Amino acid sequence: MRWRLCTVAVVLVAFTALATAAGPEKRDGAWIDLFEQAALWNASVMYDSLTGTGHILRGSDLVRFKRNVPVFVLGTDRQLRATEIRDVSGILEISEATVASIASWFVERDTERASRFSIAAILIDPGHGGKDSGAIGEFGTAESRFRILEKDVVLSISTDVYERLRARWPDKRILITRTGDTYPSLEERVSLANDISLGINEAIIYVSVHANASFNKAASGFEVWYLDPEYRRTVVDSTKAEGVDEQVLPILNAMLEEEYTTESVFLAKSILEGFRKSVGDVSVDRGIREEEWFVVRNARMPSVLVEVGFVTNEAEARLLASEDHLRKLGDGLYNGIVDFVDYFEHRKGESAP
């Protein structure tokens, strides 16, 4: 898996102006079928024969070109002067020299990604609170009543994880959306996440903590949700992208979406693994799920929603009321987050296992 997170600075690219400034030129040298070359790069090519414009997309690295124009745009803002791509009876050809130049930019991009990545902030979001109890479990008789509220369970686990993350990483911004029995709105929780200012090489992860409920009293276990990859968020702010080629914006958004989804899945796996190790067989492992949760959908960063167990299952509800089990869930969540962060900060851009 390729890791990429950066602020997207989009620059208006006027191919027509470039075309006038530097007319097509012909040079000798070997020519290669562009599609064959792209396959070697594991990249895709899009080309509109009518306008002569196209792009090569490798992971999140975008190379834009126009037929017969010896200028390429690398990423959002960099120009490469190189022998043009030509269209020979419907077959797109690229020169060997241009292939070499683009390849070296790809290497440069990989190196950059590897060296600059860090998770600067972690936002823990205990669900519900205050007037909103979340799921409620009630058991027993009038004489011996047992009642448990989701808002209390998730605050306990979240506070534990929050404090341990702060102790582990004093240099990172570790944040929590509530520290007591209060109710920040969903919008406030998300804007807290989105308002954190990050350097270009920094990322934030968002972990929303909940407990489950079901009409089926037998349902039990923990699970982790991430965003449905079919859902396309508009992650590039269109107000900041004024004047941009309208074809570019959806491409950039699709790329970022893909990146966040991949990372969210890996974060989800890491947390599940943490629970498996800490909770063991005491609770059922319900696996990874995908959904369009509001909090997850609107957080512009790798984000997951954790369900620690069912308050509607009596056995599990009693577990969720025990200090010991809450600590184990805290261990699992903490270790899952730590593993995710360590992996990405230390193995730097390599493929995930």
Say which amino acid occupies 275: F
CA distance 53 to 112: 28
CA distance 287 to 112: 34
CA distance 218 to 232: 35
Q: Tell whether the torsion through CA atoms of 260, 193, 156 and 151 is positive or negative.
A: negative
Q: What's the min distance (Å) between Cβ of 205 and Zn ion?
A: 19
Q: What's the min distance (Å) between Cβ of 60 and Zn ion?
A: 33
Q: What's the min distance (Å) between Cβ of 225 and Zn ion?
A: 11
Residue 175 or 305: which CB sits closer to Zn ion? 305
Q: Which residue is closest to Zn ion by CB?
A: 210
Q: What's the min distance (Å) between Cβ of 134 and Zn ion?
A: 4
Residue 166 or 286: which CB sits closer to Zn ion? 286
CA distance 185 to 273: 30
Binding segment for Zn ion (CB under 5 A), chosen from 3-11, 97-105, 106-114, 119-127, is 119-127
Length of the chain: 353
Residue 100 or 183: which CB sits closer to Zn ion? 183
* Tokens standing for residue 77: 């803002």
Beta pairing class for 71-74 and 61-66: antiparallel
Binding segment for Zn ion (CB under 5 A), chosen from 34-42, 130-138, 268-276, 280-288, is 130-138
User: Scanning the structure block, which residue is given the tokens 């241009």?
Assistant: 98
CA distance 133 to 110: 46
Say which amino acid occupies 116: R
Residue 134 or 221: which CB sits closer to Zn ion? 134
**Binding residue for Zn ion, selected from 54, 70, 126, 127, defined by CB under 5 A:** 127
Residue 95 or 208: which CB sits closer to Zn ion? 208
Q: What's the min distance (Å) between Cβ of 305 and Zn ion?
A: 8
Binding segment for Zn ion (CB under 5 A), chosen from 131-139, 176-184, 231-239, 340-348, is 131-139
Q: What's the min distance (Å) between Cβ of 150 and Zn ion?
A: 5
Q: Binding string to Zn ion for residues 202 to 241, with x set by CB under 5 A, is what? A: --------x-------------------------------
Q: Tell whether the torsion through CA atoms of 47, 50, 51 and 52 is positive or negative.
A: positive
Report the run of H or E that residue 291 belongs to, with start and end. strand 285-291
**Binding residue for Zn ion, selected from 134, 302, 330, 336, defined by CB under 5 A:** 134
Does residue 129 belong to the site contacting Zn ion (CB under 5 A)?
no
User: Scanning the structure block, which residue is given the tokens 């396309």?
Assistant: 232
Residue 8 or 319: which CB sits closer to Zn ion? 319
Residue 211 or 341: which CB sits closer to Zn ion? 211
Q: Binding string to Zn ion for residues 61 to 100, with x set by CB under 5 A, is what? A: ----------------------------------------
Size of residue set near Zn ion by CB under 5 A:
3
Cβ–Cβ under 8 Å, residues 80 and 74:
yes
Say which amino acid occupies 301: M
CA angle, residues 57, 60, 64, in degrees to nearest 5: 40
Residue 33 or 291: which CB sits closer to Zn ion? 291
DSSP line for 249-277:
HHHHHHHHHHHHHHHHHHHHHHHHHHHHH
Give the count of alpha carbons within 13 A of 137, CB side only.
29
Residue 83 or 208: which CB sits closer to Zn ion? 208
Strand, helix or coil for residue 259: helix
Residue 83 or 212: which CB sits closer to Zn ion? 212
Binding segment for Zn ion (CB under 5 A), chosen from 127-135, 155-163, 164-172, 192-200, is 127-135
CA distance 169 to 158: 16
Binding segment for Zn ion (CB under 5 A), chosen from 120-128, 218-226, 267-275, 331-339, is 120-128
The footprint of Zn ion (CB under 5 A) covers 127, 134, 210
